[in-house]
Structure 1
């Protein structure tokens, strides 16, 4: 991992460790102990197998680096993350489909249960799996007012897995999640703030990053052990079903994705994108 020094806005030098990868860019501010993980997979940061593996690997590396906190964001204009790469599910190879699903399971568990606090800086649209990544972080700051976020799977003719749904319930509550999930609703920044899907709304990315750092600074005097244990206790009910039923979840997703009705819906959606 290379090191670089940059001049910050107060004209003081801060030491950054920096790694650049094909789909991710990561920096660690050695002074603050905060890592920034930037998704950079044009055109929409769609989550294919290789991208998911890279995210999971980087989260493991951050754990080894013993960082104090992490900001997750995007380098693309107008897109935070468009969710799972829908082309992976069109007439899929069953073996690769299974691997994508299990890798996403593991990536979500790694992000949802990080030993360090995390902030999603949502600087663009965030449907489906992109919304899940944001909800998996401890805090969400969304740039407004023109972007949207939500689990919109039903509008694509597919079903969000139970752990997607459980994650949303943990964030916004049973009733709001049920309406959101069944209607596939996408929320504007203001709407997302109103229902608690995001924690803050700001007008631009710089403000969002600053808000993220301010949140992470709350943990400077908090025991990492106390933070992690408290987080694990609160999030255990949400993750336990998946931990106990990974194969059941995989079988459900693969079976549903391979069904003629779902394949037809995916085909129609891909045709609409071409238009």
Structure 2
């Protein structure tokens, strides 16, 4: 069953995440996203969520229930999904339709531009509140989007921000009415796609080069320790407690 619907508007493909209530990232969704990006055949991409949620991040219940074997297959798929969006040669715009939390915020950061709905959604990185480390790919995607000082505050504080604060902190580029965020993101994608395709792709590759280089050099060495931390009894217990206290309250 597909979790991503593709709509075409001229040279722009809108990839709408339709995966449960929260568009939580699990192995299947990550693999499907990477494949859909690769197969889109579009000049530009818009990545959109549902009416109230862009993506609430990693499906922590699947991590809790699947334990180490699930972590072993999930983490590479997660990084591959981030890289598929980050490495797309044409313009990419996140239509942040609602909450973009943890891995959902990383997914938005992998895009060239972010347009956020001016509603009740929040944007931020809660990984340390859950008790899990960032994979290298996620850190480099975030570093490219925000630079070290902003990334340090985002990653270490675990705070989330309402749309006006996310805009003030340059976490997103602009706000749009909730019912217009996808159309505005599509307009931005079309504006960016007006540049010559080859020149745009080359310039984007130049901007991404230092981050791609670190990923290429360090990912293999980073993946093992990160997987071990995510799979440890202490981390799985922390995830289980977070699910109970935050996600399953009431």
Kindly report the root-mean-square deviation, in angstroms, between the aligned alpha carbons of the 2 structures: 1.7
User: How do residues 1-275 of structure 1 correspond to structure 2 at under 5 angstroms?
Assistant: 22-29=2-9, 32-62=10-40, 65=41, 67-75=42-50, 77-90=51-64, 92-206=66-180, 208-272=181-245, 273-275=247-249
SS at match of 1:45: coil
C-alpha displacement at 1:211, in angstroms? 2.1
SS at match of 2:55: coil
Q: 2-side partners of 1:221 and 1:203: how far apart?
A: 25
Q: 1-side partners of 2:160 and 2:205: how far apart?
A: 29
Relative to the length of structure 2, the TM-score reads 0.92
Q: 1-side partners of 2:39 and 2:94: how far apart?
A: 18
Q: In 2 relative to 1, CA 219–173 (structure 1 residues): closer, same or farther, beyond 3 Å?
A: closer
Q: 2-side partners of 1:221 and 1:161: how far apart?
A: 34
C-alpha displacement at 1:89, in angstroms? 2.1
SS at match of 1:146: coil
Q: In 2 relative to 1, CA 221–271 (structure 1 residues): closer, same or farther, beyond 3 Å?
A: closer
4+ runs deviating over 4 angstroms: none
* Residues 133-142 or 260-269, more deviating: 260-269
Q: 2-side partners of 1:174 and 1:223: how far apart?
A: 31
- Per-residue CA deviations over 1:187-216 (Å, capped at 9, x if unaligned) read 11111111211000122232x223222222
Please identify which structure carries the higher helix content: 2
Q: Tell me, which stretches of 5 or more residues in structure 2 are unaligned?
A: none
Corresponding residue of 1:10: none
C-alpha displacement at 1:244, in angstroms? 2.1
SS at match of 1:245: helix
C-alpha displacement at 1:46, in angstroms? 0.8
Q: 1-side partners of 2:137 and 2:218: how far apart?
A: 10
* Residues 129-138 or 98-107, more deviating: 98-107
Select the structure with the greater relative contact order (CA < 8 A; seq sep ≥ 6).
Answer: 2
C-alpha displacement at 1:45, in angstroms? 0.7
Q: Are 1:23 and 1:39, in contact at CA under 8 Å, matched by a contact in 2? A: yes
C-alpha displacement at 1:159, in angstroms? 1.7
Q: In 2 relative to 1, CA 220–53 (structure 1 residues): closer, same or farther, beyond 3 Å?
A: closer
Would you say how many aligned residue pairs link Structure 1 and Structure 2? 248
Q: 2-side partners of 1:149 and 1:220: how far apart?
A: 26
C-alpha displacement at 1:253, in angstroms? 1.8
Q: Which structure would you say has the larger Rg?
A: 1
C-alpha displacement at 1:161, in angstroms? 2.2
Q: 2-side partners of 1:124 and 1:221: how far apart?
A: 28
Q: In 2 relative to 1, CA 267–209 (structure 1 residues): closer, same or farther, beyond 3 Å?
A: closer
